[in-house]
Structure 1
Amino acid sequence: MELRTLGYFVAVAESGTVSAAADAVHVTQPAISRQIRQLENELGVELFVRSSGRLQLSAAGRQFLPHAQDVLRRADGARNAARSYAAGRLERITIAAPTTTLTDVIAPFLATLGPDDPMPTVIESDPREAYDALRHGADLAIATEPPPARLASAALAVLPVWAYVRADHRWHDQGSVRLKELATETVLALTPAFKPRQILDRALERARVSAPSVVDCSNPQVAQALAAAGRGAAVVSDDPRFGLHPLEIVGRDGPLRIELFAAWEPGHHAAATLDELAARLREFCVERYGADVAPTG
């Protein structure tokens, strides 16, 4: 069954006569009549009742008509989508990112999208596997690890790793805390699979500071909740919750920072659009967190 033949059938059904349909689709009347006969033979059912040289839809034709119209609409949609792809545009975009990044960066950014932007789908990925998601349907991956050289990429932001304490904590009037001082407090840290914990552990090792008393937390919001309950200082990269007071953590090489990257396949049909979105996301991070989070490289 060819789309062209379905188009002839719909044209005759909607215009009421073969001659009017022929004018509409710019073919001869005999050609349309042959195509309709061929379609009926293929389907094994008469679509029109022929009487006195006129065609009227049969009962089967009336039931078949909406199916044919739907197929043609879908075909038009597919053609339009292909033209959009060829022009480097995206109708939909799938973004993969770790939980914290989804909550604090991606979701707020999506709220700024306009009607001409692609419809986003967001999937949560393990921080260590975000770039692998590009092999499995994701268009854009956001992660805290530098992307492989094979990928097109952009640095998005350099964000602080915070120590959060209650507003009545002894550090409440400080803007920062040194690692040696932090080590005197119970630290509510994420598990070693998370980038903020890895950064903290490396900083402690470089500064040769004895490891603090650490309570492992599998979720950054849980760490902050425990800090709000007065159980220690939560070391995370999330935005503050529960009225906690943020402190920059200063190590041997300066404040602890976590980098954020975007990456995509260089051969993606909409690579230019993804590059533009990454640039917009970088600008959004600067607007949200301040100019000092802008990547320098």
Structure 2
Amino acid sequence: MIEIHLFEQLVAFASCGTLSAAADQLHISQPALSRSMQRLEDELGIKLFDRHKSRITLNDNGELAVRYARNLLLQETTMIDQLRDFDRKKRTIFVGFCTPVLIPDFVSLLSQIYEGMTISTEVSTDPERTEAALREGKYHLAILHRKPDEAEFYSVPIESEHLYVSLPPVHPLSDSEGLYLKDLDGQTFLLYSQIGFWDGLCRRKMPSARFLVQQEYDVLGELVANSAFPSFTTDYIRKRNEDTTGRIAVPILDDEANVTYYCCCLKSEKSRFKTLLQHWP
């Protein structure tokens, strides 16, 4: 069996053109590289080089050997990458989320139950796309804001969330007991960029509203605390974060403002995630 490093050195020589340049690239001495090339010829049983007084060049055999060597090295790299990717996927649980708000608590729970596993998360606002990714094996689990097809997926309800509009006390609607999104249409809102499916709901129900989208959550918090623009929050967020802004949270009355989240997997994967799925009664 010919050692792979001999082919690596052959390709280096072909790329550099001289033994000295190839030796410098490979961080070995020129005599050592010369011996390696002689050894490669001996093991193949053919001549790869035309030897001149002060240099060597590839002959036709050598040119063909270089092409094969490059393909061999590419196949080796591809094999290593695919094996590592296969091993990584075996040790990784991929989860698709319809909203980022549940990620910290859910990942913490997964890490406790499946100790040693890596948790990879992705947020998508399109439930059809998320279900398709779950079906195709891109995700092992998905968190959806609607119950998926029971014929194909197994799911359990894990959490609920209700949308609120956050208003400064001076806002003319701040004393409302509840508001529909259409009541807020036309106003300017502070909006966080990573709110999942809520973004689509707000834009669909308030087509004339203007949204000042913030990429950084901390920056959004500063703006909410120091501006008169309305923003949005939920009961889930309010339970976990103390509100120090002095704002008034008014519930949104639209049916779509109340959602139940489901943890979903393929029925064929139910036994694998049995411990997790039994966490919720």
**TM-score normalised to the size of structure 2?**
0.48
**TM-score normalised to the size of structure 1?**
0.46
